[in-house]
Amino acid sequence: MQPLVSSNTVRSFAAAVIFLFPALILILAPADGLGLGLLAIAGLMVAWQQRGSTQPSREEKLLYFAVCAFFITVLVATLLGGIDHSGLKKLNKFLHLLLVIPTYVFLRRVGVNQAALWYGLAAGAAIAFAVALFQVWNQPPGFRAKGVTHPIIFGDLSLSMGVMALAGLGWFRSRARWQVVLPIAAVTLGLMASFLSHARGGWVAIPFLVLVFIWFAWAHIAVWQRWTAVIFFSALLTITYLAPATGVKNTIDRTATNISSYLHSDITDQARVTSVGGRFEMWQAAWQIYLDNPVFGIGWGNFQEEAQKLVDAGVRNESAAYWGHPRNQFFSAMANGGTVALIAILLLFLIPARLFTNVIKRGSTPDAQYLALAGLLLIVAYISFGFSEAIFERISPVSFFAFYLAVLAAAIHAQLRAARHAPVERMQSLSVIIIAQDEADRIEPCLQSVAGWADEIIVLDSGSSDDTVEIARRYTDKVFETDWPGYGPQKQRALEKATCDWVLSIDADERVTPELRHDIDTVLNEAPECVGYRTPWAVVVYGRRLDFGRSARAPLRLFQRRGSRFSDDQVHETVLLPEGRIGKLEGRLLHLTHRDYGHALYKNAHYAWLGAQKRFAKGRKGGGLSLALVRAIWTFVLIYLLRLGFLDGRVGFLIAALYSQNSFNKYAGLWTLRRQSEGMTNNGSQR
């Protein structure tokens, strides 16, 4: 059956929306969320078609969590505070943030046209500058454009587009050398638009954005290019400040005067009812409201009413209740949604920022790094804007943020996926060592994941009664049978049989993913930077890959053979490396931790007892049964809540409960061993 619309048409539609989105935001005020909404609808259709067939990656789960946590927090706080018309309007604006998810799903499926993205940002900065000129110099008396052309919002968004376009400088240069003019012109026009509109939030953002560029440029741009950029932007800022036509100097002087007047006036002085003084009054009112309602706040839509009560009581002056929000996104979150909303908005900013930063730091493809830099600049800009404006409580900025967050995340996903398929030649030889016993039902997929890739495979069997040895010999001629001295000594025996430059230690219930193989081939070049690498786990239980909780660990499994050895621990052995750096890979090591629930219970009890014996041998006391219970509760909280195990669904809850049980059994076992060592018997002395 032929699809109703061809894939090329769908991609063209997406590219057109991405390119035209800045114009929709800047010119067509009623269409603020049009582009975002169209892509979101398409994304919902894609999600419906793919339901149950794919599982989001760890990074995608984090992005979804950051967006949903904020909206749910806002919804709960507003419902608890008593929802009204004003509260509904706020919820409608915050609802745009949820559209990040379906928009991302759609763009991940069809791809992001980078030309449309970068050229659209450059064109958007030019449009913003043109509107700024009209607003400031040619605006008819009494005229005030609607929507984003409000000076504050207009300046913020125009600056965002300019700096995001500059992040693509390397992409423009790769197209044609002369095209570097486009992002430079875009950021220049974006800065000018911000200055001309006198958006103080943009002025707050500029130094932080410069710091991000410096951080990125330190490792990616030549020294002469850095100094050229510093001189250029310093000259631009100086000219803008000194040129009377911009009005920047007058605004800065007026702001300084207002702050001084506010700080040196009585509360009834009219000098406090100024643009800056009024903000201080609203912020202090928001702080007082937060202290009175610290958990869930008062609910969105109720700030003005609560601030008016403070005015009536003579605590604040009339400017505290002038606006329906405190002109600061963080104070707004604290007053309206309490501590939970403040945490939620910080997660909304910090989780994507961490994801973008990781892409830059791990040396991904240049295009992926440019996109990640643009995303990081978007986050930093909005954090800065939030200091002087409740930026998410205006629909155009919310739509802008949600749209570009989805677009950049989808574009990075496509770049990283393409990089995973690029051929890489490993320069160092590699041994894979595996210890096994009675693993006939699981060892073959493990061997298949490294067969034909590793230079040698070594399997050390400790007396299997099934077909483990026969299966292993189908994939390698280096299969050895020994006794069982414990995990650490057994792995050391396997290591001593390895002959290659580097060693990858895996268990029979683990699988090396293609992504991990690619990462290993990449880092094992002529001169590896580290002496060992951690490989992130991805536990697979009941057909579901777990990305959080205990699965968030990254054990050290890849290391250089010379100078390395395993510890003598009977369980939870460690790799002892020579002096040097330890890195971390991105590809996942799949771990099929147990066959069924019965096996999970057996393994849980076995490891708990070994752990108790290990601690007893080291003279640990453990603290008794009461502390064992406390440790069990803490383990559950740590895995399920703090390490976000709840993002893995019902299986995440089950795993957290199993580890909690393991923790209790381990310390309860230690307690019994200590009782026995103290000579207490069951004839009455043991209670």
CB 204 within 8 A of CB 279: no
Task: Give the pLDDT confidence score for residue 272 in this predicted structure.
Answer: 46
- Max mean pLDDT among 93-97, 204-208, 418-422, 455-459 falls in 455-459
Tokens (6 digits) for 114: 């980078």
pLDDT 10s digits, 285-319? 889 999 999 998 888 878 888 888 888 887 777 77
Q: How far apart are CA 376 and CA 410, in angstroms?
A: 14
pLDDT 10s digits, 384-395? 999 888 888 887
Tell me what percent of the residues of the chain surpass a pLDDT of 90: 34
Tokens (6 digits) for 442: 């699981």
- Kindly tell me if the per-residue pLDDT of 687 is higher than 50: no
Q: How confident is the model at residue 35 (pLDDT cuts 50, 70, 90)?
A: low
Tokens (6 digits) for 278: 């009024």
DSSP SS3 for 337: helix
Q: How far apart are CA 535 and CA 587, in angstroms?
A: 7
CB 406 within 8 A of CB 100: yes
Amino acid at site 510: E
End-to-end CA distance of the chain: 74
Tell me what percent of the residues of the chain surpass a pLDDT of 70: 82
Angle between helices 275-292 and 329-361 (to 10 degrees): 90
pLDDT higher at 434 or 204: 434
Q: How confident is the model at residue 267 (pLDDT cuts 50, 70, 90)?
A: very low
Q: How far apart are CA 439 and CA 458, in angstroms?
A: 15
pLDDT higher at 276 or 126: 126
Q: Which residues contact 218 (CB under 8 A, 6 or more apart)?
A: 226
Among the residues of 99-199, which ranges form H helices?
100-110, 114-137, 151-167, 169-175, 181-196
Q: How confident is the model at residue 618 (pLDDT cuts 50, 70, 90)?
A: confident
Average confidence (pLDDT) over 222-237: 68
Strand residue runs (E) in 389-512: 430-436, 456-461, 479-481, 502-507, 510-512
Find, among 626, 612, 625, the residue nearest to 677 by Cα: 612
Burial tier of 535 (Cβ tally within 10 Å: 0-12, 13-18, 19+): buried
Task: Give the pLDDT confidence score for residue 681 in this predicted structure.
Answer: 46
Q: How far apart are CA 104 and CA 375, in angstroms?
A: 14
Average confidence (pLDDT) over 271-276: 52
Task: Give the pLDDT confidence score for residue 478 in this predicted structure.
Answer: 93
Q: How far apart are CA 255 and CA 260, in angstroms?
A: 9
Find, among 630, 628, 635, 633, the residue nearest to 665 by Cα: 628
Average confidence (pLDDT) over 448-468: 93
Contacts 24+ apart (CB under 8 A), 393-397: 393/90, 393/93, 393/325, 393/329, 393/332, 394/93, 394/153, 395/32, 395/33, 395/92, 395/93, 395/96, 396/25, 396/29, 396/32, 396/147, 396/148, 396/153, 396/157, 397/148, 397/153, 397/156, 397/157
pLDDT 10s digits, 111-134? 889 999 999 999 988 887 777 666
Angle between helices 366-385 and 151-167 (to 10 degrees): 160
Query: 3-state secondary structure string, 621-643?
Result: CCCHHHHHHHHHHHHHHHHHHHC
DSSP SS3 for 299: coil
Question: At 646, which helix (H) or strand (E)?
Answer: none
CB 585 within 8 A of CB 558: yes
Tokens (6 digits) for 530: 């580290």
Give me the chain's average pLDDT, please: 82
Task: Give the pLDDT confidence score for residue 264 in this predicted structure.
Answer: 55
Average confidence (pLDDT) over 242-264: 61
